[in-house]
Structure formats: C-alpha cells, structure tokens
Amino acid sequence: MEKFRKPLALFSTILAFSMLASACGKSNSNEPQSSALSTPSAESSAPASASAPASNADPVTLKFWTWHPSADLYKSVIEKFEASHPGIKVDLTVMESKDFQTKMPLALSTGEDLDVVGVQTGAMPKQIQADLLPLEDLISQTRPDWQSVISENSISQARSQADGLKFLPMASIGSMVMFYNKDILDGLGLPAPKTYEQWKAVSDKLRETKSDKLSVAVGGKDAWIMDEVAWTIAGQQSDLYNQWRYNGKKLDGPEYTQAAAGFLKVFADGIINKNDVMDMDYTSSRNAFTSGQAAFFIQGTWEANLLLDSFRKGNQVNINDVGLLPIPSVEPNGTPSIRSFIDLGLGIPAKSKHPKEAMQLIDYLIFGEGNDLLASTFAFSTNKIGFVPDASLLTTPTAQESYKTLSDLLNHPSADRNNNSPFSDVAGQLLQKMLISKVTPEETAKAIQKEFDTGKYPNE
Amino acid sequence: MNIGLVTRRQKRIISVFLYAFALMWLFPFYTAIRNSLKVNGIRNYVDLFTSDLNGISLLGTFRNSTLIAIGSTIILLAVGSLAAFAFSKLRFFAKETLYVSVLLCLAVPGVVIMIPFYYILKNLDLYNTLWSVIFSEAVLTLPFAVLMLRNYYDNLPPELMESASIDGASKLQMFNRIYLPLSTPALINLGVLSVMWSFQDFLLPLMFLTDKSVLTATVAVNTLKGLFGFSPADLGKFNAALVVLGMPAVVIFLFARKYITNGITSGAVKE
Amino acid sequence: MRIKAREHATGYLFVAPLLVLFAVFLLYGFYFIVHASFFNETLSFRDAKYVGWDNYRMAIEDSRFLHSIVNNLAFAAAAIVISVSIGCVVSVVLSIGIKGSKFLGALFFIPSFMPLALIAMVFSIMLEYRFGTLNGLFHGIGLDFMAQRWLSDPKLAYMSVISISVFLIGLPMMYYNADMTTIDSSILEAAVIDGAGLGRMMWNILFPLLKNAHKTIILSTLLGSFREFERVFLLTQGGPAGTTENTSVYIYSFARSAGANIGFVCATSAIVLLIALSISVVQLLAFRTKAGKGGRR
C-alpha cells in the first residue's frame, strides 16, 4: 500500500479538482470540460496566410495524404520539390490502401486541415467530390498547356469520375499481372509461361520434384484480390466489365459464369494451390515472392518496381531476375490482358487554405519533374506523353522485355479498372466460397448478381 | 487451499499434464520471438526504435497510447466515483432507474456505437485528437466503473455517513474526506484495469485517429503491415514490433496483477 | 419518507458528469442510430434520403448478417465451455501446490493482459498453412498429417478462432481463484475422510461450490461476445469466405467501404444493439436475485 501513496495523492487531487469543476459548472450544465476539449493535439496548423502566394514570407506547410507509392519513394521527390519551391513545405502521410479508403473521406468530411489528397478512382470520387475544389481554373493558371502534357484519354477518364474536374491523375495502373522469379524457372529449366499449358507445366514440375517452392503466391485471403483475378480472366474473353459497370449487363449470364469457371480451373488444375494461398493476405503473398519462396506472384502493375535490380537490392529481395507477364489465357481462344484505368488522382480539399501552393505540388507530381522521378521507380505508369524511363534501370533482358509487355498491356486494356471496391470485397468472398465448397461457377455467378441486386452497393 | 488432499503420485501426474499444457502455451510466444529475429536478427529491434516506420516513430505511438490511457482513466475515476457514491449513499429521484440504465450500457458494443461516436466527435471538433479516444473509452468503461464502485461504497458502513452529518459536513465534504479516501483500494484496482483496457483497445483508435502524429501503438503496428513496398526487412521489424507490443502486458503482470484481479473479480456475481 | 428538493439536487449534482457524458455520447448515439437507420446516406451525411424500413429489410434478408449473429453466439458458447472446463480445472490444479505453480500461473495469466489485436496477429502468423510456425513444427517432428489448413478450412478456422479463448483462460481463472478463497476447506477435508478421490471431489464437490464464478463467466462472456472484433478481424478477416464472420466484422466491413450506405450500417447496428441490451437485461436480473439493496458483500 505504501508505495501507492503518491499516485493516490495525485488521484485524489484530480478527483477533488474535477468535483470542483462539476460543482462550479452547474450553471453551464452542457459540457463541463468543454474548454479543455477543443485543443486538438494533432493540429500542426500552418500559419493562415490565406491564399497569399508563397514567396519569402512565412513558409506554407501543405498537408498531403495519400496511399501510394510508399513514403520512402516520395521522400527524395518531396525534398526536391521543397528545394525548388522555397516557402512551401510538405507534410506527407502515406496510409495503407484500405485504411486510406475509410479514413481520408472521413477526414475530409470532418474538415481536417488537408491541402492535397490522393483520390482512388472507382467508388471514391463520387463519395468525396463535394469536398473537393474544381481544378480546371487552378491548373490552367499554373500550367496553361496542361492538356497536352498528359494523355487525352487520362483526362477524359478523370472528368468522367466526378462532376467536373475534381482531381488529376498521376498515372494509370492495371491489374492483375503476373511477376515471375526467373531464378526458379531457370532452375526448373522451363520458359516464362505464355500459354496456360506452359503455366501448368511449372506447377506440375514443382510438384514432381517435390520442391519446397510455391507455384503462385497470391493474396487469397483478401477477397478483392480474388475478384480482380476473376475479372482479369473475364477480360481474356471480352469487355464484360465495362458492360456490367456502365451498361447494366448482368453477371449471371454465360460470360461471367465462364470467367468464374476459368478462375476455378486455375485452382483445380493445381496451378494455384488453394491450400497455400487461401490464408495469405496481400502482404504475406508478396513476402512469399520477395523472399524467393514462390515462382509467381499475381498482383497489380503497381508492383512493377520488382523488375528493378536496384529496388530489389535496396529492399533485401534476393532474386537475381524478375519478369512480368499477363496471366495466361485459361481458354485457348482468349487473349491475355489486364484491365487498366487512371489512378493515383490528386485533388485539393475545398477547405484547404493554400489551394495555390497545393496546385504547385500537384503540378510537380503530375506534370513536372516529380512525376518523372516517381515513374522511374516503376511504382506506376505515368500518363505523360512521351515519357521514357531511364533505360539503364532495366538491367536485364528480362526486365527490358517485361517493361515492354507492361506498356503494351496498359495501352491495350480489355476494360476499365474503374473498380467498385465495396462490391469487389463481396464478390471476392463468393468466389472464395466457390473454392472451398462445392458451389458451382454457375451458382456463384448467380449469387454475385443476386447480391448486387440487393442494392447495398451503389454502382455509379 | 493447499490442504494436503492430494497424494504425491497424483501431484506428479498433474504436473506432467500441466507442463505439457504449458508447452503448448509457450508456442505463440515462441512464434512471435522467432519471427522477430528473422531477416536481420536483433537489428530488427534496434531499427524499430532508431528509425521511423513509414514516417511514424514507434516511441511516439507509445506516448500517445500512454496519454490516452491516463486521460481516460482520470475521467473514468472522477466521473465514476462521484456517480457511484451518489447511487450508493444519496437519495434522489429515479435513482434506481438511472442506475439500472447505466448498467444496461455494459452491453454496448464498440462497433455498433462507432458511427454515432464518429458523428458526435466530428461535431465537437474532437475527431483525430487523442481526446476522441479518451472520451469514447471512458464512456464505454463507465458502466463497469459505476457497478464496481457502487458495490464498494455499499459495503462501507452507513454509520460513517451519520456521524459525519452530525458534524455538519456537506455531502461533498463527506465524499471528499471520508468516502473517497476509504475507497482508494477500489480506485486503484479500477485505475489499473482501465489503463490496461486502454492499452488493449484497437477499434476506437483505429476509427478515430487518422493522423500519423496521434496513432496508438497497436494500431500503428497493424497498419504497418499492409503498406505498399513492405519489404523483407520491414517484415522483420513488424514482427519485432509485435513482441514490443506485448511488453506492457508483462510489466502489468509483474507489478499490478493483484489490482487487475481484484478489479475484475469485483464485478462478479456474489451471494 | 419524503426527500427534500435540496437532497434531490445534491444527488443529481454528483451524477451530473456521468449523465452529461452519457447523454452526449450514448443517448444521442442511440437516437442517431435509430434515426439514421431509416435513411439512405453516406458518411458525409449529405443528401439523406428517407427509405422507411428498407434498410431493416435488407439486413434481415441478408443471410450473411444472420450467420454472423449465430457465430457470435457460437464463439461465446465455445468460450464458456473452455472457461468452465479448462479454466476451472487449471485453477484448481494450480492451487494444490505443485512445483513451479507460480511460473505456470504467470504463463497462463500474461496473455489476458495483452491486446487481443496482438494475440490475433501472432496467431494468424503462427497458423498460416505454408509458412506458419505450427505446421513448421509438425513437419519438423515428422507429424506431417497434423499440418492442416488452420485458417482456410472452414471447420478448422472456427477452431482457430476459438483456440484464442484457450489462450485467454487467465480471465476466468481470476474469477475461480477469487471464488476458491471463499470455500470452507473443512468441507473438502470431510470429503477426504469419506474417501472421495481427487476426481470425484473435483466434480461432485468443488465444481458445484464454484457456481458463482461459473455464473459470472457465462454472463460476462455472453455480454462480451457482441463486443468481439479484433480476434476475428485480425485472424481470419471473417473468412474463409465469410464463415467465421461475427457481427462486429460484418458491420465494420460495411462501415468502412467507400460510399457505403450508413443507414444500412445503422439498421444492423440497431438490431445488434437490441440483442446485446436484452442479454444485459438478463444479466441484471441474475445479479438482482440475491444482490438486493445493501445485500452485496
């Protein structure tokens, strides 16, 4: 008991104090501590110099939230920006993607002091557009010729996502592609698979040789990844995704059923071992690949920096050579492809006190040098016309060829990767169900359509 | 309760079973520690504290966790003891109805109340401040605090009250001078328990704290995992962070087990 | 006996801080849930559209939601069985004074002091099929057949979620330890003289004597079951394919998705709240039977 004297004394003092407060606070009975409450500890409030141009006056700190690429990759880019834009500082927060999907819209609607926010295309722009500034005028002032810097297609896609131009796209990304560990394929004496049979040969040989390596690493625990894989397989046949997303085509017809059956076949043929992947999430599947435990890794094009030797060395990824291919067509008559769309949008919250400075950062990251720097990390494919990555980064023939494959895939997508992410999680769950139970592809397609019809998932 | 009821042989058999059970027990600990040494060995721990994790300092997140724990505990003890005293020793209109209503709120699940809390905190301008979690945790723990402290005050003899009122002390003085000091054991139990619960909390800080400067340790470690560019080196750090997250529990066990046990069991059914 | 107005006022002054907090957060919160559940709106709370009982209809028609309620109860039932059996036996056995019981006690207690989120994250690493340490151990000692899909086989995934309850028996043990100190050891001595063996004594005498602890554990586990979130969310994400999803994970998944209809989230919340409150009423009744005014010890 003795040794608790001090804390006790403290407690009782505080108690006594709070009682006093509650006694005195009788008259303003609504919220006794209300004065103490309103000091947000998170506030890093920049001096409110309104929209005065940033010159040698007080520096403006831009609060910038996004989810991609990583803080490490942004670091040097932002340092350069700050050096060339004296008077502007950038306070960057990078979140995990799912986290960002929840928290950024929340922060916008609570009036958090943000100046630049990443915008995920798909479901998000419609949800947050009322909190974003229209950018048309701002960008025209900063860079009058902006429309000729990035591709026309990317601009029209950005305009279609919200009422008016509410964000500008840093890049286009696509999914799902397949990264391969060339070391493992070489060890097996097999080529990088262009056809379904060649793909199957890899997993068969791994099994025969009782190898401890995994054939395909993919995040089977994350439902959205399963959904994206199924859509990629659907894309080998048609642009069903666009028809569903924009024209109200149903998913319980033969097209999606075929995609679901193809998806199931990849597992049934043992190419993807469901035992191995159904409890792997994004991170653990990526880890299985980067630690050299898997021959293939299925994920989006945003992981393309795995192609770079410099990136692998810097991140302790001990694979000599990594390549990229589309997922081979399950049906012989299909075309291997991906869905792609603009992504990594940047917008300015309507409540930002420094829209002009914010636009300078956006300009730098989308039209200026910053975009080139980031694009050279291969964490996305830029929309800038005529951008050529530093060829010296692609150190192996595999890497060079893979980069070409990547560009082709992104330039000729089967459909838009304009995701309806809430529904993606649900559809993915039904696909998982097909894998672990006796539900047929037909029933799965029906169940997915039925779930969609409940109206719980807006599809604007 | 050791009364020599058990023969030596029985003891030995039981020991064997118990130790086998304990071995199973140790396995998660083993998993955590082994993984934390993967890739870069002990350097994972060093890196964890010396470098930022995606721009977040782990020590900073522990500081936030501590501030939240202290803040919510203070509010809990202050508000809880006042109310419990009134429910126990004072008479006022609809007292029992109020008390029962408060106890009913023991059942309110965090996820369910999350959206309204979000809306309320947003309008109080508290969203994304440590206060948001401090208040939410205090409100959700208050029913237990009132239950526990009222039980305690009920057991204090009413004669204290009578003798004090002869002295002409006001109710507030009575509480301050007599009942509050007498209830310190219960307050300590509750306080320690509340600090522990606050450290364990995951959902509320996950929902209400978005800015990297206010993240708590548990949430920061969890969100670390899904970040883009998570490399093998980061995996080592992540696993080391898991072990570090478990440390406060060991500290609590070593220094405050008694208070936790007393606190938890004082909410038990008794006859 | 009449109470003076002044006395009323004093009483209310003492409970005022509590009432203010509850009015601001809980009372208003409940109103908010019920009110919002009749609208179609997003988290921005703009352009709310009145939709009547539609959200409730969608909730009740969703088999995933009903399944999650059943899961809550199933996990609670399993936790109760584990607490009352393993928790009780371990508590008793630790009290008969075997060597190292202090160390063992510590071992069994410490997990209950840790964040559940941490335990779930460690278990999810440990139980992975391909790279998990548990299967690694089984392969290592030649028990290959024991290496199972702990998280992706629906039945085993249930077991995995439940196994965390075993890891958390520290909590029920606290109740049993407290209750055992109140047992009159002469009863046990008398039983020994009658020639009762250890097993019989345990089941016929000790177990019934601990009925208060049983009761507390059952009620608090039931009550806690609707609060459970981290254990499922961080271990299985409700998977495989939603098999282990509980109400918290279900509601959370809708609350966090982009552009979600918050009215629907509130309708499910209202239903879950109603169930949780009814369990709370049962608990209160159980408390009240013996613990009338001033009757508490």
Q: Which of A4, A110, A283 sits opposite B188 (nearest CB)?
A: A4
* Domain ranges across chain C: 37-289
pLDDT band at B270 (very low <50, low <70, confident <90, very high): low
- Cα(A426)–Cα(A442) distance, integer angstroms: 17
Give the mean model confidence (pLDDT) for residues B59-78: 96
Question: Between chains, do B210 and A112 touch, taking CB under 8 Å as contact?
Answer: yes
Size of interface A-C (CB pairs under 8 A): 126
**Could you tell me which chain B residue has the CA closest to the CA of A22?**
B79
Question: Between chains, do C237 and A281 touch, taking CB under 8 Å as contact?
Answer: yes
Which residues of chain B from 36 to 95 reach within 8 Å of chain A, CB to CB?
Answer: 39, 54-55, 74, 77-79, 81-82
Q: Which are the contacts of B243, defined by CB distance < 8 A and separation ≥ 6?
A: B32, B33, B36, B45
Which CATH code is given to the segment(s) A60-173+341-393? 3.40.190.10
Q: How far is B50 from chain C (nearest CA, A)?
A: 22
CA torsion, points C163, C168, C170, C172, in degrees to nearest 10?
Answer: -80
Q: Where are the alpha helices (DSSP H) in chain B?
A: 8-36, 43-50, 58-89, 95-104, 110-123, 130-155, 159-166, 171-174, 180-182, 184-200, 203-208, 217-224, 232-265
Q: Cα–Cα distances in Å, from A342 out to A153, A292, A415, C110?
A: 9, 31, 12, 50
Interface residue C290 vs chain A (CB under 8 A): no
Neighbouring chains to C with at least 3 Cβ pairs closer than 8 Å: A, B
- Cα(A259)–Cα(A430) distance, integer angstroms: 13
| Dihedral sign of CA atoms B164, B167, B173, B176 in order | negative
Q: Is residue B178 scored above 60 in pLDDT?
A: yes
Interface residue C261 vs chain A (CB under 8 A): yes
Long-range Cβ contact pairs of A138-143 (< 8 A, separation 24 or more): A138/A348, A138/A355, A138/A356, A138/A359, A139/A165, A139/A168, A139/A359, A139/A362, A139/A363, A141/A359, A142/A356, A142/A359, A142/A360, A142/A363, A143/A363, A143/A367
Burial of B5 (0-12, 13-18, 19+ CB in 10 A): middle
- Looking at domain B53-265, its CATH class is mainly alpha
Tell me if B249 sits within 8 A of C113, measured CB to CB. yes
Question: Between chains, do A23 and B172 touch, taking CB under 8 Å as contact?
Answer: yes
Residues of B in contact with C90 (CB under 8 A): 18, 21
Count other C-beta atoms under 10 Å from residue C153's C-beta. Answer: 19
Q: How far is A296 from chain B (nearest CA, A)?
A: 17
Question: Between chains, do B113 and C122 touch, taking CB under 8 Å as contact?
Answer: no
Question: Between chains, do C241 and A436 touch, taking CB under 8 Å as contact?
Answer: yes
Amino acid identity of residue C60, one-letter, is: I
Question: Between chains, do A284 and C259 touch, taking CB under 8 Å as contact?
Answer: no
The encoded tokens of residue B177 equal 């001078």
User: CA gyration radius for chain A?
Assistant: 26
Q: Which are the contacts of B235, defined by CB distance < 8 A and separation ≥ 6?
A: A287, B38, B39
**Could you tell me which chain A residue has the CA closest to the CA of B130?**
A41
Looking at residue A10, what is its pLDDT? 39
Q: Which residue has the higher pLDDT, C267 or A97?
A: C267
pLDDT band at C232 (very low <50, low <70, confident <90, very high): very high
> Tell me, what DSSP letter sits at residue B53?
B
- Cα(C182)–Cα(A349) distance, integer angstroms: 63
Looking at residue C134, what is its pLDDT? 94
Q: Is residue C102 scored above 90 in pLDDT?
A: no
**Could you tell me which chain A residue has the CA closest to the CA of C63?**
A451
Question: Between chains, do A284 and C44 touch, taking CB under 8 Å as contact?
Answer: no
Residues of A in contact with B72 (CB under 8 A): none
Q: Is residue B271 scored above 90 in pLDDT?
A: no
Size of interface B-C (CB pairs under 8 A): 291
Q: How much of chain B exceeds pLDDT 70, in percent? A: 95
Question: Between chains, do C117 and B26 touch, taking CB under 8 Å as contact?
Answer: no
**Could you tell me which chain A residue has the CA closest to the CA of B208?**
A103
| Dihedral sign of CA atoms C192, C193, C197, C202 in order | negative
Which residues of chain B from 184 to 203 reach within 8 Å of chain A, CB to CB?
Answer: 184, 187-188, 191
How large is the greatest C-alpha to C-alpha distance in chain C, in angstroms? 79
Looking at residue C258, what is its pLDDT? 73
Residues of C in contact with A345 (CB under 8 A): none
Q: Which residue has the higher pLDDT, C66 or B25?
A: C66
Q: How far is A344 from chain B (nearest CA, A)?
A: 13
How large is the greatest C-alpha to C-alpha distance in chain A, in angstroms? 84
Question: Between chains, do C261 and A23 touch, taking CB under 8 Å as contact?
Answer: no
> Tell me, what DSSP letter sits at residue A47?
P
Q: Is residue C208 scored above 90 in pLDDT?
A: no
Neighbouring chains to B with at least 3 Cβ pairs closer than 8 Å: A, C
Residue pointed to by tokens 């301008």: B125
Report mean pLDDT in 10-residue bins for chain A, 460 residues.
40 43 36 36 38 59 92 92 94 86 83 91 87 93 92 91 92 94 96 96 94 94 95 96 93 95 96 93 92 95 93 90 96 94 94 94 95 90 87 90 93 91 91 94 96 83
Amino acid identity of residue C224, one-letter, is: G
Q: Cα–Cα distances in Å, from A25 out to A32, A94, B173?
A: 6, 42, 18
Tens of pLDDT along C112-151? Answer: 999 999 999 999 999 999 999 999 999 999 998 999 999 9
Q: Which candidate, A11, A42, C36, C27, places its Cα nearest to that of B132?
A: A42
Question: Between chains, do C240 and A436 touch, taking CB under 8 Å as contact?
Answer: yes
Q: How much of chain C exceeds pLDDT 90, in percent? A: 55
Whole-prediction pTM value?
Answer: 0.89
Q: How far is A246 from chain B (nearest CA, A)?
A: 30
Residues of B in contact with C223 (CB under 8 A): 106-107
Tens of pLDDT along B134-173? Answer: 999 999 999 999 999 998 999 888 777 777 776 777 888 8
Tell me if C152 sits within 8 A of A267, measured CB to CB. no
Interface residue B235 vs chain A (CB under 8 A): yes
What value, to the nearest 5°, has the Cα angle with vertex B72 and ends B66 and B76? Answer: 140
Q: Which candidate, A90, A98, A103, places its Cα nearest to that of B128?
A: A103
Which residues of chain B from 47 to 76 reach within 8 Å of chain C, CB to CB?
Answer: none
**In 3-state terms, what secondary structure has residue B16?**
helix
Question: Between chains, do C14 and B83 touch, taking CB under 8 Å as contact?
Answer: yes
* Domain ranges across chain B: 53-265
Q: Is residue B201 scored above 60 in pLDDT?
A: yes
Q: How far is C142 from chain B (nearest CA, A)?
A: 17
C interface mutation test: which of A97, A279, A423 has the most C CBs within 10 A? A279
- Cα(A345)–Cα(C23) distance, integer angstroms: 41
- Cα(C175)–Cα(B262) distance, integer angstroms: 9
- Cα(B124)–Cα(A215) distance, integer angstroms: 53
Neighbouring chains to A with at least 3 Cβ pairs closer than 8 Å: B, C
Tens of pLDDT along A352-367? Answer: 999 999 999 999 999 9
Q: Is residue C76 scored above 90 in pLDDT?
A: yes
Interface residue C158 vs chain A (CB under 8 A): no
Let me know if domain A175-340+399-453 sits in CATH 3.40.50.300. no
Question: Between chains, do B77 and A96 touch, taking CB under 8 Å as contact?
Answer: no
Question: Between chains, do A92 and B55 touch, taking CB under 8 Å as contact?
Answer: yes
Every domain range in chain A assigned CATH 3.40.190.10: 60-173+341-393, 175-340+399-453
Q: Please, what's the b/e burial string for A375-397 (b: 16 or more CB within 10 A of its CB; e: otherwise)?
A: bbbbbbbbbbeeeebeeebbeee
Most confident of the ranges C88-97, C156-165, C182-191:
C156-165
Looking at residue A21, what is its pLDDT? 40
Q: How far is C31 from chain A (nearest CA, A)?
A: 18
- Looking at domain C37-289, its CATH class is mainly alpha
Question: Between chains, do A433 and C239 touch, taking CB under 8 Å as contact?
Answer: no
Interface residue C281 vs chain A (CB under 8 A): no
Looking at residue C2, what is its pLDDT? 64
Interface residue B109 vs chain A (CB under 8 A): no
Q: Which of A128, A214, A281 sits opposite C130 (nearest CB)?
A: A214
Q: Which residue has the higher pLDDT, B208 or B158?
A: B208
Question: Between chains, do A315 and B81 touch, taking CB under 8 Å as contact?
Answer: no
pLDDT band at C290 (very low <50, low <70, confident <90, very high): very low
